[in-house]
Amino acid sequence: MSFVLDVTAMLDPVVPNGVREADWPLLAGRFREAHGAVAAIAATGVYGYRELEAQAGERTRVAQFAQSVAGQYDDVVVLGIGGSSLGAIALRTALLPPAWNARTSAQRAGRPRLHVLDNVDPRSIAGVLSIIALPRTLFVVISKSGGTIETLAQYLVVRERLEAAGLDVSRHLAFVTDPAKGALRAIAARDSIPAFAVPPNVGGRFSVLSPVGTLPAALCGIDIEALCAGASAMRDATLGDALEQNAAGLFATLQWRAHVQAGQGMHVLMPYSDALRDLAPWFVQLWAESLGKVDADGLNVGPTPIASVGATDQHSQVQLFMEGPADKTVTFLRVERGQDELTIPNLEPGEKALSFLGGHALGELLDVECRATAGALARAGRASMTMSVGAADAWHLGGLMMWLMQATTFAGALYRVNPLDQPGVELGKRLANRELGHPDLTSHDQAGLATPSLSPPRTVRVP
């Protein structure tokens, strides 16, 4: 395993309000308490994202299905939202070549393009439907509950197109949903549509290593066994209660401490790698939806995660990180230089602004910029840490995802919230269902969901 977490720039005297030597015993004790709470809850079986061995059978079904349909499709389209889409996007960005979706089927050696429709914006859906050939497309519909209205709306639009084209829906649809209940499970049974199970104890934002992520990945030729092997290795490495030996616990504890003791409640994840850039939005959902809660004392708690990418955001967000409010931490993700390397040619030896670049590599430049940005933040007294990984491959990506999921679980105990629920999301869902006339809302529900009067309204209309 090649993961190194460097937290030097979270410490005093590197940064003001950093961790002092005398703080370590207190933080270690606080983590042991959080670890004990997590262990007690884990014994009830609710942390299904860790149970990769128990999910091996379904993973085998996924792999066998992907192999059985190999070469039949030019396009795979995921219909899903939130935790049902962000993981697939992160996997696609990291593990498929950047120009993969632009290549022809022959150039991709029969492996399909992967599209992810993670919203109900008609422009995006119509756009994808206009560039694919339905007879050569598989739609993967992902909703754990089987009742996500955005995903069901997408499904109905797609199914109408398939039926209008005279296509057998059982050959052009696959479902990922609850193993026993919900609308998608019932439709799958009725219409002989292939269906894969999300374990009941795996929530959406923790589901990337279940068929939610592994089915789209396998269909596009990604090695899902390597992905889960890396995750298993990281899980095993982050089970102990010794703070400085547990990378997930250390990340969670130092971020929590930066928030509650140093006022740094905004947590930036900044990959210096285009391969890992979409890991940041995936982390934003994981951290925000898991930790932004009402705690055991009835207080509103939780950090605010921010997605960034280097070196691009050196020319936008880093100005704020350097000289704006000192209310942020930055976590850099850097990848050891890989095989896709390009040397900068020395074409202008007489121009000082260009000549010094000649002979260096682009990967070297990116890595230098990462270290320079971390150094600049430290000089400005701004807290950061760096996670270095050996490669942007399936094994390491699985490890990174497990690292962040484990950290989220520990952080839930530190903030004293349940990281697995999302009560703040449910009211909006119910209000939307009411507006659309959902049949399962009783008259009592309807009354309870009445929108409060906002009178008098204040609006500005621009001609």
Active site residues: 289, 315, 429
Whether 363 contacts 341, CB under 8 Å: yes
Q: Is 103 left (phi over 0), alpha (psi -120 to 50) or beta?
A: beta
Peptide bond into 456 cis (omega under 30): yes
Cis peptide leading into residue 311 (ω within 30°): yes
Please report, for the chain, how many H helices and E strands are present, in that order: 16, 12
Inter-residue contact 105 to 207 (CB < 8 Å)? no
Q: Identify the CA nearest to 183 among candidates 149, 144, 146, 158.
A: 146
C-alpha to C-alpha distance for 35 and 413, rounded to whole angstroms: 8
Q: What is the DSSP letter of 11?
A: B
Amino acid at site 8: T
Terminal CA-to-CA distance of the chain, rounded, Å? 60
Distance CA 194, CA 113 (A): 20
- Per DSSP, the three-state class of 174 is strand
Which residues does 205 contact at the CB level (< 8 Å), separation at least 6? Answer: 82, 83, 86, 285, 286, 289, 290
Contact 367, 304 (CB under 8 A): no
Give me the torsion for CA of 3, 377, 243, 297, rounded to 10°: -130
What are the two backbone dihedrals, phi and then psi, of residue 410, each rounded to the nearest 5 degrees? Answer: -65, -40
- Among 220, 279, 278, smallest CA distance to 62 is for 220
Q: Closest by alpha carbon to 242, among 72, 386, 32, 387?
A: 32
- In Å, what is the CA distance from 56 to each residue of 49, 177, 210, 358, 427? 12, 17, 10, 50, 35
